[in-house]
Structure 1
Amino acid sequence: MVVQNAGVPMSNVTRYLCAAAYLDSEFRYRVLDELLADPYRAVPPSYGGFDLIPVLHHCRRSQQLLLIRDILISALFAAGLLISPLTALNWIFVLIPFALLTGRRVRRWPIILRLLIWFWAVYGIFSMFAAVIFSLYIAMFDTGRYDSLGYGSSDFGLPEPLAALGAGGTLTQSLFVPAATLGVAVIYRVVIYLTLAGSLRPGTPEPPGRAVHPQTSARLDYIRRAQWGNITMYGNENAFLGAGRVERTWSIAVELDRVRDGAGSRRQHTPVDIDPVDLHAFVRRRMAEMRDHVLRPNEGVQRLDIGDHVVMRGLFTVADWTGRRLPGAHPFIGKDGLPRYQATPEEIAAITRHPQGGVRYYQRVTIGNAGQEIRDAKGELVAPAAEQEALTSAFIYLAVEGRMLYTQFVVTVLPPVLDPYHVVDRLPSMNPGRIAWEAVRVLRLRLLRDVLAAPARVVRTAVQAVRQGVTARDPRAHIVYPYGALRSVRELGADTDMQTYIQTLDVAKYVKMIEHRLTEAVLDYLEERQVDTGAYRLQAAGVTMNATVTVGPGATVSGPMAFGPHSSATLHGTAGATS
């Protein structure tokens, strides 16, 4: 049994990604493959109140419903091929062009090819109805038997009621497979949308736990704990998995053997002793002041979260599974063979003081755009809190190395969840009839594609189940094993960019605030220890400068600028990032 947070409402982002489990088959497949296919894979962190467990619950439930639908459709196809093979084959012939028209690649084909596919689709519908009419004609007026052709038969000269009964039976036989398979697909979609309107309405608590397979239950328990850890083991090139795309980076290096005294700046033989752990603690206190030490509560950055971010590549020598450490075992693989997800303060301090090691420590500052409610001087509500969903994270790296202090600043931005998943906010206000209409209207041609692909999905699911049972993951069979996480569920459901310009402006605001707070904190710390900060201030002025000039309607130029004869301007890095 997996312990659940009973009664605690899910965050909006969590609800939207639960909806994605039903609305987006590619999303569902990637989530299940990332989190359940390999029981030894690390889990990317969850930021901004997003919870993986409800999303996994709905992905598994959606997969079960989908399998039931596909089995029913496949059984109907099999029955149709036995009872009326020509009708079933004709229905497949009709479905193929409509399925092609839903493909992204096909939509990029030349117009002449797409017109030919449309012609195929129209011809298929016409031929299907022509076959139905022909079968009715045979049933009512012909004396021969056409069982071998799959059309049915009737005897000439039967009384009119019996002839009509025979015609009706032939019509039912001709339309059974198309109507039944399409009906199952429509009913499935309606059930899904009713689930979205009920189980995922605003304020819905996390789904209750239930007994599952012991191995799956153990994996879910590990995921629940690991998503809140401070270790990120990545299996690709992204050390900031789960935080979104990198929006901005810069770095500053300053000498620690150059000090300032009454005579000015001078270089001394012994560098100033700077402990990066103490400097991180100093910066953390300055960052927390933006949330905790303000004049009025409404001025605090309430959704500011400061945490630890330990990153490493998740490709390690396997651990000793008996609990006895082998010389080649990696310390960040636990005795149970699973990747560790929580580093101790002592380990973090050691990592911070060893900048050339294979593990790196960042101080993480995350700000969620959940907003706060607005009240007037009398306490009356002016506007409720509005969640913008976007997430801004800053990762701060401080290293003392080679008589230098190196400061690195990385900003990541996680856009809101894709707009189609927000349908769970609109459905609860609709009646069942309107919900059913929305379920069918959204899919259109994709309903026909789902009918055609059902047998193939059943076969693929069976093959995957057999393959997973035969080829069970076992790190003991490898010298090294890829433990690193590959995908973030939150990033899989994110939009490609911000959905409103206000969200873009909020990101810029928080980046500026964190950036300025960091540089001033480092400067204050160095000046307290008499380190010459002239070079640091000069570099900080260059990397934080972001002047903007309007040059026309709706057009701006950002970055270093120069005007007039012999002027010059230099931009280091790419758009949105300087270094």
Structure 2
Amino acid sequence: MDGNGGNTNGRVPRQRSTRASSRRTDEEIRDYRAATRHLCAGMYLDADFRRRVLHEVHNDNRRRVAPSFGFRLTPVLVHGWRAWRIDLCLHLAICALALVVLWWAPLSGAVLIGTLGAWRTTQALYGVTRQLYAYFVQRKTEHELRQVQYRFKALGLVMAGCLAIGGLGLLGLSLRGSSGVGEWPLRGGPLDTALFSAALVAAVSAAAARRQRALNQLHDEEAVNQQPSSTRQRIIAWQESHTFTVYSGFDPFIGSGQRIHRRSWSFAQPLLEAEDPTTVFHPATLKEREFSVPPFRTHELVAHLHERLRALADEADPEIRLPGLDVGDRIMLNGAYVDDYREVLERPTTEATRQIMANPSDAARHHLACQVDSWGGEVVTTVFVHTSLQGKTLYIEFSTYALTPTKSTYQSIDVIGATGPGAIRRAVGRDLAQLPKVLGHVCQLGNELGLGVRARRAGVDRTTKSRRGSDIGARFSTREDASQQPHERDAPAPANADADTNFFQLADIHKHAQVIERRLLSSMIHFLKSKRVDTSEFRQRATAILNNGVINHGDMSMTGTAVGQNAIVTTTPAPAAG
């Protein structure tokens, strides 16, 4: 890249990256695995989530993976394939049993199909009946009533069909007696029906027990700390911790969670030389105070901010240290413009990072990522700071993002009684109670087989080769997909259940964002003063930003609070009691 922001044909020389991570105590490392453990549990508890991760992350070798903040992706993929094998074996066993029963004893198959279909339809009718009751209680719209009535009629027809099939099978069995010998399709008997029913129960019970045993093992360190077991997983492990975030689409901060708009801002600071107090009667003009040459370079300011922030992570005093703080370089690059950065992607270097800082008009943009993970990685707050020197001004941009906790379903393995021998028995009983629903999942067999076939071809990293019109940017984040959505967090929790996100988790996001924000602003002022830059306007802007960053959490009262410059608050006294 040349000094004017354009790209030259020369490549950045390959050097080793000097990026360092903050030191962590054994307790913090042990805590750090909580989010990874919950995501591994999600592979067993949520089949749709598992399919999305395996399809969008593992099998999509034409795109880079999103950065992993607060967790490790490799163990999640390892457990995802284990859960996939459990479900695949169950589905194959069910299909094999279905083929055998239809060939050997069609009458017994008709009885089983009719019984299971009526069982499942009864469960669905119960849910529709509750919806119909909710309509009369909550007075919903006529459109919702028509939908409920349509579902009720459709389920009634399905119930009639299942009863008809089961009735024909029972009639055939009664006419043939107890013997199952005869010409096809009049084969079958009570013994065949009992044997095939027992085989189905055994297959479902074995899969449920194996799945629960895998969940029980997630409390062991070795089970969570899985190492890459294939070429594709080693590639993913390298990409998830890469300095570059190669993204697709509009948002470059993929993997960082939701943006906190109240804590995101930007402004341009003119680079003026600080006034000399002795020349108060002969003040210099703005043109005379402008620096002809910038008094510092962008990488010098970034290095100063990096050092001041890292000091908070390295403190020995627990009342000074900011636990879980990690500070490092993060370069955002659109996947459609990656060809000019091929060598840098292979080996990011300090010199290449400085060149990107000096050319903020290129496709690659440098950010200083100041990240705090807490609650075992369940809550991750990241402040991205972008600085650049252009037009004799210092441009500063703060973007604050937060990853909220994983879905409460995935965290259920930490509940008392959710693991252990008793949990295995309960898991088997739960699946048997939902036997028709479990058997209905066999329709996903085609998707499961497709995942396995595509995984065999995913060992080659296709992001390293240039293709016309290609975009290798990440478009799916495992951590964001597993996070609780706003409607899930805001919905009131049942009286006998824990809230998805508690008050202190949300408060920690804003606390960490403000601590980092204030530290960065004070460090910038200190750095600019050391370079003899006028900081009067910077101080005014910083004060306005900090004052306007007041957050109102839920129903907390803000009565009598004035925010912003020259703000005035007027209160009206309450009327006297009569």
Instruction: Tell me what 2:109 maps to.
Output: 88
Q: Which has the higher contact order (CA 8 A, sep 6+)?
A: 2
- Report the alpha carbon displacement of residue 477 of structure 1 after superposing the two structures with TM: 8.1
SS at 1:315 equivalent: helix
Equivalent of 1:191 in 185, 197, 210: 210
Separation (CA, whole Å) in 1 of partners of 2:533 and 2:272: 8
With over 3 angstroms needed to count, the CA separation of the structure-2 counterparts of 1:130 and 1:551, relative to structure 1, is: closer
With over 3 angstroms needed to count, the CA separation of the structure-2 counterparts of 1:481 and 1:400, relative to structure 1, is: same
Contact 2:332 2:364 in 1 (8 A): yes
With over 3 angstroms needed to count, the CA separation of the structure-2 counterparts of 1:556 and 1:146, relative to structure 1, is: farther
Contact 1:252 1:540 in 2 (8 A): no
With over 3 angstroms needed to count, the CA separation of the structure-2 counterparts of 1:466 and 1:293, relative to structure 1, is: closer
Separation (CA, whole Å) in 2 of partners of 1:88 and 1:146: 15
Separation (CA, whole Å) in 2 of partners of 1:201 and 1:350: 45
With over 3 angstroms needed to count, the CA separation of the structure-2 counterparts of 1:200 and 1:470, relative to structure 1, is: closer
Superposed CA offset, 1:201-234 (max 9, x none):
2544546669x6xxxx222222222222211101
SS at 2:378 equivalent: coil
- Report the alpha carbon displacement of residue 491 of structure 1 after superposing the two structures with TM: 1.9
- Report the alpha carbon displacement of residue 256 of structure 1 after superposing the two structures with TM: 1.0
Separation (CA, whole Å) in 2 of partners of 1:350 and 1:138: 87
1:260 aligns with 2:249: no
Separation (CA, whole Å) in 1 of partners of 2:83 and 2:236: 19
Give, as a single letter, the amino acid of the residue that structure 2 aligns with 1:417.
T
With over 3 angstroms needed to count, the CA separation of the structure-2 counterparts of 1:76 and 1:333, relative to structure 1, is: farther
Separation (CA, whole Å) in 2 of partners of 1:52 and 1:64: 19
Contact 2:369 2:383 in 1 (8 A): yes
Matches within 5 A, 1:80-479: 80-85=101-106, 87-88=108-109, 91-92=112-113, 98=120, 110-120=147-157, 123=160, 126-127=163-164, 130-131=167-168, 133-135=170-172, 137-140=174-177, 147=183, 150=186, 152=188, 170-177=189-196, 180-197=199-216, 199-206=217-224, 217-248=230-261, 249-257=264-272, 259-262=274-277, 263=280, 266-269=285-288, 270-271=290-291, 272-293=294-315, 296-316=317-337, 329-332=339-342, 340=346, 342-370=347-375, 387=376, 389-426=378-415, 432-441=421-430, 445=434, 447-454=435-442, 456-463=443-450, 478-479=467-468
With over 3 angstroms needed to count, the CA separation of the structure-2 counterparts of 1:358 and 1:99, relative to structure 1, is: farther
Contact 2:413 2:419 in 1 (8 A): no
Give, as a single letter, the amino acid of the residue that structure 2 aligns with 1:360.
R
Contact 1:362 1:395 in 2 (8 A): yes
With over 3 angstroms needed to count, the CA separation of the structure-2 counterparts of 1:468 and 1:203, relative to structure 1, is: closer
SS at 1:297 equivalent: coil
With over 3 angstroms needed to count, the CA separation of the structure-2 counterparts of 1:44 and 1:195, relative to structure 1, is: same
Superposed CA offset, 1:254-287 (max 9, x none):
1114643222674134425231111111112222
Contact 1:38 1:473 in 2 (8 A): no
Count, aligned residues? 498
Give, as a single letter, the amino acid of the residue that structure 1 aligns with 2:536.
G
Separation (CA, whole Å) in 2 of partners of 1:449 and 1:144: 29
Instruction: Tell me what 1:495 maps to.
Output: 484
- Report the alpha carbon displacement of residue 58 of structure 1 after superposing the two structures with TM: 0.8
Equivalent of 1:23 in 29, 45, 48: 45
Separation (CA, whole Å) in 1 of partners of 2:191 and 2:417: 37
Contact 1:92 1:452 in 2 (8 A): no
Give, as a single letter, the amino acid of the residue that structure 1 aligns with 2:479.
R
Separation (CA, whole Å) in 1 of partners of 2:403 and 2:432: 28
Separation (CA, whole Å) in 2 of partners of 1:509 and 1:302: 13
Separation (CA, whole Å) in 2 of partners of 1:144 and 1:95: 21
Equivalent of 2:522 in 500, 516, 520: 520
Separation (CA, whole Å) in 2 of partners of 1:22 and 1:128: 34
Give, as a single letter, the amino acid of the residue that structure 1 aligns with 2:258.
R
* Root mean square deviation of aligned Cα: 3.9
Separation (CA, whole Å) in 2 of partners of 1:119 and 1:257: 79
State the identity as a percent.
Answer: 23
Name whichever structure is richer in strand by fraction: 1
With over 3 angstroms needed to count, the CA separation of the structure-2 counterparts of 1:88 and 1:452, relative to structure 1, is: farther
Separation (CA, whole Å) in 1 of partners of 2:554 and 2:258: 30
Give, as a single letter, the amino acid of the residue that structure 1 aligns with 2:331.
V
1:531 aligns with 2:529: no
Give, as a single letter, the amino acid of the residue that structure 1 aligns with 2:206.
I
Superposed CA offset, 1:339-370 (max 9, x none):
53x52111111111111111001101111224
SS at 1:200 equivalent: helix
Separation (CA, whole Å) in 1 of partners of 2:361 and 2:556: 46
- Report the alpha carbon displacement of residue 99 of structure 1 after superposing the two structures with TM: 8.1
Separation (CA, whole Å) in 2 of partners of 1:411 and 1:467: 37
SS at 1:268 equivalent: helix
Give, as a single letter, the amino acid of the residue that structure 2 aligns with 1:22.
Y
Superposed CA offset, 1:382-430 (max 9, x none):
xxxxx47211111111111111111111111101121111233247775
With over 3 angstroms needed to count, the CA separation of the structure-2 counterparts of 1:102 and 1:302, relative to structure 1, is: farther
Contact 1:94 1:124 in 2 (8 A): no
SS at 1:408 equivalent: strand
Contact 1:315 1:481 in 2 (8 A): yes
Separation (CA, whole Å) in 1 of partners of 2:241 and 2:526: 32
- Report the alpha carbon displacement of residue 118 of structure 1 after superposing the two structures with TM: 4.8
Separation (CA, whole Å) in 2 of partners of 1:232 and 1:389: 21
Separation (CA, whole Å) in 2 of partners of 1:208 and 1:304: 24
With over 3 angstroms needed to count, the CA separation of the structure-2 counterparts of 1:312 and 1:421, relative to structure 1, is: same
- Report the alpha carbon displacement of residue 304 of structure 1 after superposing the two structures with TM: 0.9
With over 3 angstroms needed to count, the CA separation of the structure-2 counterparts of 1:22 and 1:466, relative to structure 1, is: closer
- Report the alpha carbon displacement of residue 38 of structure 1 after superposing the two structures with TM: 3.0
Name whichever structure is richer in helix by fraction: 2
With over 3 angstroms needed to count, the CA separation of the structure-2 counterparts of 1:87 and 1:55, relative to structure 1, is: same
With over 3 angstroms needed to count, the CA separation of the structure-2 counterparts of 1:550 and 1:543, relative to structure 1, is: closer
- Report the alpha carbon displacement of residue 146 of structure 1 after superposing the two structures with TM: 7.8
Instruction: Tell me what 1:379 maps to.
Output: none
Unaligned residue ranges in structure 1 (runs of 5+):
1-6, 153-169, 318-328, 371-386, 566-579
**TM-score w.r.t. length of structure 2:** 0.75
Contact 1:308 1:362 in 2 (8 A): yes
Separation (CA, whole Å) in 2 of partners of 1:144 and 1:508: 71
SS at 2:340 equivalent: coil
Unaligned residue ranges in structure 2 (runs of 5+):
1-25, 132-143, 490-499, 572-578
Separation (CA, whole Å) in 2 of partners of 1:25 and 1:423: 16
